[in-house]
Amino acid sequence: MFRGLVLGAVLSAALVAGPAVAYAEYPTKPVTLVVNYPAGGGSDAIARALARAMEKELKQTVVVENVAGGKATRGVTDVVTATPDGYRIGIATNSPMTLAVHSVSGLPWSSPSSYDILGGIGSLYSVICAQPDTPFSSLEEMVAFAKANPGKLKVAIIAGGLNQYTWDLFVKKAGINIRFVPYSGDADGMAAFLGKNTEIVNLTWPTLRGQVDAGRAKCLGMFAPERIASHPIPTLKELGYDVTTTSDYVVFAPKRLPADVRKILVEAVHAATADPDFVKVLSAQNIVVKYEDGDVVTKRFTQVYNDVLTQKAESK
């Protein structure tokens, strides 16, 4: 009987200590970080910088794997459908997760409730710029010109992306008619603008900053929550248009991660945003580095996701 009591006590202690042991042991092997764009691009560089920073916290190798295609949704699918054990996580922006998800058929995921955002690591914003010789130098003057000359101005934007979503919200609130000229990416849109094919351009700040600094574009407003330190460009909200949309880089995982594993990963992601080498890589791309809680980012993603659903329903 005494032996049975001792054995029972030992088993009880083991059960109580179980989660703590699991917490201490993770990770016991390399962690894979999936990036949903090809190697060699800006997102790939960010993923590799994040991997190096997370290795310092996890004390384990973090391997970057590029899974591109499907309007950047293939990489998301790869992570969403992975075993939720903490050994396969991803990095992505909100464009495929809130916009492309509506246009790519057959995806095994949908709204942000389909995956687990561990945290935001940085954001970039789109800006409205104009040709240096346009007869307006502020957003207010551009809106007035557009109202007086409906359909005369043309704007270069990436078709179907966050820029178009943001622009559509703005022109609706402003009540203006500016001809939409779609392009497949920042490079094409920028080339069209520099070639004087459009008077206005709405692309990301990293794409336009060099042109603004060189005097080849004048910036009228930024879709940011607040002014950036290096260039105090007024935000759209300051100018009377409550349109604040950010392109957020997030680290995410499959749903149902063990709580202890998730805690370790969140701590590693959070610590990475303070890593000097990581900050240097993102700052070089004019990305504002800031950790945001996963729940906060999930709410923002969900709002955009639902807005697009509403827009699609209204257009039918």
Q: Give the confidence band of 316 by pLDDT, cuts at 50, 70, 90.
A: low
CA dist., res. 116 & res. 46, Å (int): 20
**CATH number at 29-122+249-308:** 3.40.190.150
Question: Of all residues in the chain, what percent are helix, strand and coil, respectively (each to 5)?
Answer: 45, 20, 35
Domain ranges of the chain: 29-122+249-308, 125-222
pLDDT at 246: 79
Per-residue pLDDT tens over the stretch 34-60: 999 889 888 899 999 999 999 999 999
Helices (H) and strands (E) in the chain, counts: 11, 10
- Strand residues in 105-245 grouped as ranges (E): 116-130, 154-158, 179-183, 200-204, 218-222
From CA 21, how far away is CA 35, in angstroms rounded?
31
Integer Cα distance of 126 and 162 in angstroms: 9
Confidence label for 81 from pLDDT (cuts 50, 70 and 90): very high
Whether domain 125-222 has CATH 3.40.190.10: the reply is: yes
Q: Do domains 29-122+249-308 and 125-222 have the same CATH topology?
A: yes
Q: What is the mean pLDDT of residues 159-170?
A: 83
